[in-house]
Structure 1
Amino acid sequence: MFSKTMLTPPMAASVSFDLDALNQRFEGAHPRDILAWAVTEIPQGLVQTSAFNVDDMVITDLLYRDLRPNPPVPVLFLDTLHHFAETLAFVQQAKEKYSLDLRTYKIPDVDSREAFAARYGDKLWETNVEQFHHLTKIEPLQRGLAELHTVAWITGRRRDQALTRANMPYVELDKEGRLKINPLAAWTRKQTWAYVMEHGVIYNPLHDRGYASIGDEPLTTPIAEGEDERAGRWRGMGKTECGIHI
């Protein structure tokens, strides 16, 4: 059960959902229907977390072009200071196209890749990747979710992206008792791109250069034909997740 005691924000005090029932209800549902449920049942404290990958853009398009809740759902973006230049330019493009309520969070004590290296060491992702992700992603995310009084957050994850996600539910609880909603859980990569083509959704140009999943520049490579979609992330490190979704 998604119970009252699991939610810390004041506006969530009267919210209670049966997760098993919801996951059964959403099996086979279109992501739009899942998002429509979310914006209706959680009018306050709903947040989309986005790395502005193609799956994230499908969700943004559904929220901002199709459903258009008022007020709009905030989009939380983590500026790790190590993104591709193309990613940062695309974030700005998407913000302007959709008039996003964009909320950007980053490590608080440095403001550039060079300053990060000076403070925490050169190529920290090679010497201590767990600390690197904690500093650039995990702590800023948790701070952002708390400051936005998040009751539920929306992700762009799919079950077919990796074996670690194969049994991912549509709705679950994070460690803080917030609801985590995965509207694209049952979709395939093919379905995502079919939606993009049908609706003219803009996407990061790096996808056209072989980057199926786009993260930090030092830790992301293109994939070869036949490789797993996330094979280009942390190549050779034996990692499949940065820690946000563990």
Structure 2
Amino acid sequence: MVSCLEAQSYTTRPLVNQVKFDPDQLDLSEMNRRFESATPQEILAWAVATIPNLAQMTSFSMGALTHMLYHELQARVPVIFLDTLHLFPETLETAQKAKGLYNLDLHVYQAAPNREHFIGNYGDRLWEKDVVRFHELTKVQPMERALNELNIQAWITGRRRDQSTNRQHMPILERATDGRIKINPLANWTHKDIWRYTFTHGVFYNPLHDQGYTSIGDQPLTTQVQVGEDERAGRWRGSVKTECGIHR
């Protein structure tokens, strides 16, 4: 259910004790049990109040989480954007629009200064020759650099359980392989929930959604999705690949 409560109400109903944050001491099973019936805003309010080095990771596909953080909760957390140098122009335009709308504390990370430099270092159309290496260079390494340079302890994702079969059992809080905590406030939301919130609050979204792209990644690796297909069916079409490497 989409919550339309004011931000103040989220901070006055803590779901867990407010203690000094130590990612190694979190009882994720217990916290996931408590958060299972929480709204995304309540989960975000806990994270903002509890975690001193928190960030949002976004692809600028949908803007709901950014709106919740910056508008509803008035929390100016760092926003990390991985520019792979192979994104749709619409994605870059959406990022610039969001930056202006919310005065984002935006941190852009990429594998090279520009696409030409990337091709000079690694060759043209690397995704056709070695897609794992392509994502390691354009997504995984820039993400690791961002988390380390910004000293991030936990980061927020926009993943939902209904997006694909391999995400259907995703917890709200999970520990990444590097020990950091990943927070998935929208885990329980559906495709309808995210769009209801978007239209109710007039939140920005990537205009490619209006052209049949339901999950938006790199331009050469993303196709439109047909009626009846999974939301992420347009990513790596014809391949067994389901994730870019960030969420291992």
What is the TM-score with the length of structure 1 in the denominator?
A: 0.90
Q: Residues 6-45 of structure 1: matches in 2 within 5 Å?
A: 16-42=25-51, 44-45=52-53
Which residue does the alignment assign to 1:146? Answer: 148
SS of 2:199 mapped into structure 1: helix
Match 1:53 to one of 58, 61, 72: 61
% same residue: 55
Give 5+ residue unaligned stretches, structure 2. Answer: 1-19
How far residue 112 of structure 1 moved from its aligned partner, in angstroms, is 2.2
Q: Which amino acid counterpart does residue 38 of structure 1 have in structure 2? A: A
| Residue 224 of structure 2, aligned match among 222, 225, 229 | 222
Distance 2:57 2:23 in 1: 24
In structure 2, how many angstroms separate the alpha carbons of the residues matched to 1:14 and 1:75?
20
Q: Which residue of 1 aligns with 2:11?
A: none
Can you give the 5+ residue segments of structure 1 that lack an aligned partner in the other structure? Answer: 1-10
Number of residue pairs matched? 229
SS where residue 77 of structure 1 aligns?
A: strand
Q: Quick one: distance in 2 between partners of 1:215 and 1:232?
A: 9
Distance 1:192 1:126 in 2: 33
Q: Distance in 1 between matches of 2:59 and 2:40?
A: 18
Residue 79 (structure 2) aligns with: 75
- Normalised by the length of structure 2, the TM-score is 0.89
Separation in 1, partners of 2:164, 2:116: 33
Task: Pick one of 97, 101, 105 that aligns with 2:105.
Answer: 101
CA RMSD of aligned residues (A): 1.3
1:81-105 deviations in Å (ceiling 9; x for gaps): 0011111011000000011000011
Report the secondary structure of 1:191's partner residue.
helix
CA deviations over 1:147-185 (Å, ceiling 9, x no partner): 111111000000111111111000011111111100000
Contact 2:24 2:179 survives alignment (8 Å): no
Output the CA distance in 1 between the equivalents of 2:68 and 2:23.
27
Indicate conservation of the 8 Å contact 2:55/2:79, yes or no. yes
